[in-house]
Amino acid sequence: MADTHSVIGTKNKKGQTFTDTWKMMNEAPRTPSFYTGSEVIKEALRRASCDVMIAYPITPQSEAAALIGELFAEGYIGDYFRGESEFAVMSQCAGAAFGGARVFTTTAGPGTMRAMENFPMWSGARLPIQMIVTCRGINSPLSIQPDTLEIAYLLNTGMLVWHAETAQDFFDWILKGYMVSEEPDVHLPLALCCDGFFVTHTKDVVNLTPTDMCLPPYDPYRSPVPCMDMECPPVRMMRDPFIMKSNYISYATHASWQQEVWAAVERSRKHTIKWLNGLIETENTDAEVIIVASGTAVSQGREAIRLLEDEGIRCGLVKVKVLRPWPGEEIREATKNAKHIVVPEFNVTGWLAKEIKATIPDSDRVNAGPHVCGGMTMPPEIIASEIKTLLGMRTMSLAGRGS
């Protein structure tokens, strides 16, 4: 077995050179390309030295999942198949990761929910699987449209959760994500989320790294838990399966393991800051009003800020890139001068606003909304209108309900 570092500079069977990831992401030349988000996922995977990808059709991730199948047919992926349901797929991903493979999968909405039992198991078993979540509606009546409610359910699974705004984020974060996830002091799965359709089905200019460079392979022996491949001693982990019993040592074992999973989420912070250049990005944080958002709500926030600037109103922006680990300190610092914190979201419950309220002092500064859900778009005008209302300014009625 070749370890991760000794292969750098050598070529894989497709002629790509295993490249130091920092150099590949930060120093190698980039080629601007005009691609859909789904195609960008494929291009990232081409460079990811992925061993196993498991697919299942569900809109809006089906195209990406099928495109990765083409990569497999071309020889870029070790193995690829269609599972029978998301629950099964996430278990198949677990099996492959237990066996020491670098694993990738994609899902969305109801699929995420169907597979949910697997996610705390992934974290507990310390499997650094990467799962793309192309968020869509999860609730009845049936909807395939963009809606980020499913992210709320992922926040307490012990997975790392990142929320991409653009296809460029996506391309970079898929590759960087493995670097964070696979650190021995982290070794946790990553849910890399984006807003379905808005990112997956629109075309954008994305700067790609060279196709002849790829990530160093995953080294399953740089892990806090043994790889299940019978290449290391099959130590009996317990003389007695005390974890299944109702006694103090059983509770203590479970408690310490859960604490360790969340400690590993925390330890990912330093790696994530290094690779993503911070957990948040900020603009004009000295403004009286600050929009805090994640995903494509950030883009809409930016547009709203531009509209308001035309009217002489100055707003700041916080782009939350990473949800787990939670950038509490960063958000506290960035919003300390704000009188109003506006949190636009593509879901009905406003989970991001709740997280922020639980983080900052004087949480009544947080304005949870505007919200859209069920696939509705969020015109920047409604964000601008919400802000003007907060500032006590008159606004035009945007959606006439006869009032």
Partner 1 sequence: MSKERIKISDDLYDIMPSDYQDLVKSATYGKEDRGWKDIGNSKELIEQHSLCAGCPESMAFRYILASLPNPEDTVMVGSTGCTSLVFPMVAVHNIHSLFGNQNAIASGLKRALSVRFPGRTKDVVVLAGDGATVDIGLDMTLQAWFRQEKFTTICFDNELYANTGGQESGLMQKGFVAKMAPVGKLFDKVRLPEIARESGCHYVVQCTVSKPSLIEKVVRNAVMISREIGPTYLQLYTPCILEIGKNSMEGLQEMRDSEKPTERFAYKEYVSEPAKQLLAEIAAKDKEKKAAAKQLASQGA
Judged by the rule CB under 8 A, the positions of this chain that interact with partner 1 are 1, 51-52, 54, 78-79, 81, 83-85, 87-89, 91-101, 103, 117-118, 121, 125, 226, 228-241, 244
Q: 3-class DSSP state for residue 144? A: coil
Least gap, CB of 332 to partner 1 (angstroms): 38
**Do residues 345 and 145 lie in contact, with contact meaning Cβ atoms separated by under 8 Å?**
no
Identity of the residue, 98 or 162, whose beta carbon is nearer to partner 1 in the bound complex: 98
Identity of the residue, 103 or 194, whose beta carbon is nearer to partner 1 in the bound complex: 103
Name the residue among 293, 282, 267 with its Cα closest to residue 371. Answer: 293
Least gap, CB of 5 to partner 1 (angstroms): 18
Q: How far apart are the first and last CA of the chain?
A: 71
Least gap, CB of 39 to partner 1 (angstroms): 25
Identity of the residue, 96 or 384, whose beta carbon is nearer to partner 1 in the bound complex: 96
Identity of the residue, 81 or 251, whose beta carbon is nearer to partner 1 in the bound complex: 81
Least gap, CB of 55 to partner 1 (angstroms): 13
Identity of the residue, 88 or 348, whose beta carbon is nearer to partner 1 in the bound complex: 88
Least gap, CB of 149 to partner 1 (angstroms): 24
Least gap, CB of 76 to partner 1 (angstroms): 13
E-strand ranges in 56-202 read 79-82, 103-107, 130-135, 160-163, 190-195
Please identify which residue in the block is written with the tokens 């597979």: 115
Phi, psi for residue 341 in degrees, rounded to 5: -120, 115
Least gap, CB of 261 to partner 1 (angstroms): 15
Q: Residues with Cβ < 8 Å from 219, sequence gap 6 or more?
A: 1, 3, 4, 182
Burial class, 225, CB count within 10 angstroms (exposed 0-12 / middle 13-18 / buried 19+): middle
SS (HEC) of 327-374: CHHHHHHHCCCCCEEEEEECCCCCHHHHHHHCCCCCHHHEEEEEECCC
Identity of the residue, 73 or 232, whose beta carbon is nearer to partner 1 in the bound complex: 232
Give Cα 361 distance to the centre of its chain: 27
**Do residues 306 and 313 lie in contact, with contact meaning Cβ atoms separated by under 8 Å?**
no
Identity of the residue, 240 or 310, whose beta carbon is nearer to partner 1 in the bound complex: 240
Amino acid letter, 335 = T
Identity of the residue, 148 or 181, whose beta carbon is nearer to partner 1 in the bound complex: 181
> What's the DSSP call for residue 209?
P
Provide the phi-psi class of 340: left if phi over 0, else alpha when psi is between -120 and 50, else beta: beta
Least gap, CB of 114 to partner 1 (angstroms): 12
Burial class, 159, CB count within 10 angstroms (exposed 0-12 / middle 13-18 / buried 19+): buried
Please give the C-alpha separations between residue 6 and each of 3, 19, 22, 99, 125, in angstroms, as whole numbers: 6, 11, 16, 21, 27
Phi, psi for residue 193 in degrees, rounded to 5: -100, 150
Least gap, CB of 174 to partner 1 (angstroms): 20
Identity of the residue, 233 or 312, whose beta carbon is nearer to partner 1 in the bound complex: 233
Least gap, CB of 118 to partner 1 (angstroms): 7
Which token pair is 17?
């050179």
Identity of the residue, 103 or 320, whose beta carbon is nearer to partner 1 in the bound complex: 103
